[in-house]
Amino acid sequence: MPDVPGGYLDAASTEPLHPAAREVLLAAMDDGWADPARLYGAARRARMLLDNAREVVAAVVGARPDEVSFTASGTQALHLGVLGTMLGRRRVGTRVVVSAVEHSSVLFSAETSAGAVGQVPVDRTGRVDPGMFRSALDDATALACLQAANHEVGTLQPVAEVAAACAEHAVPLLVDAAQVVGRVPVPAGWSLLAASAHKWGGPGGIGVLAVRRGTRWRSPLPHDERGSGRVPGFENVPGALAAAAALRARSEEAESLAASQTVLVERIRAQVPELVPDVEVVGHPTDRLPHLVTFSCLYVDGEALLTELDKEGFAVSSGSSCTASTLRPSHVLQAMGVLTHGNVRVSLARATTAADVERFLTVLPGVVARLRATAGVDRL
Three-state DSSP at 266 gives helix
Q: Fill in the amino acid letter for 338.
A: V
Q: Rounded CA gap, 337 and 333, in Å?
A: 6
- The CB-side HSE value for 159 (13 A sphere, CA atoms) comes to 26
Three-state DSSP at 218 gives coil
Which among 6, 130, 148 is positioned nearest to 74, based on CA atoms? 148
Q: How far is CA 359 from the centre of its chain?
A: 27
Q: How far is CA 8 from the centre of its chain?
A: 18
Are 56 and 188 in contact, with CB atoms under 8 Å apart?
A: no
Q: Rounded CA gap, 57 and 77, in Å?
A: 14
Q: Which residues pair with 281 in a beta bridge?
A: 295
Q: Do the strands 68-71 and 173-176 form a parallel or antiparallel pair, or are they unpaired?
A: unpaired
Residue in 145, 166, 297, 322 annotated catalytic: 322
Q: Rounded CA gap, 163 and 222, in Å?
A: 31
Are 167 and 148 in contact, with CB atoms under 8 Å apart?
A: no
How far from 308 is each of 195, 328, 352, 370, CA to CA, in Å? 32, 20, 20, 9
Are 173 and 190 in contact, with CB atoms under 8 Å apart?
A: yes
Catalytic (active site) residue 297: no
The residues annotated as belonging to the active site are 322
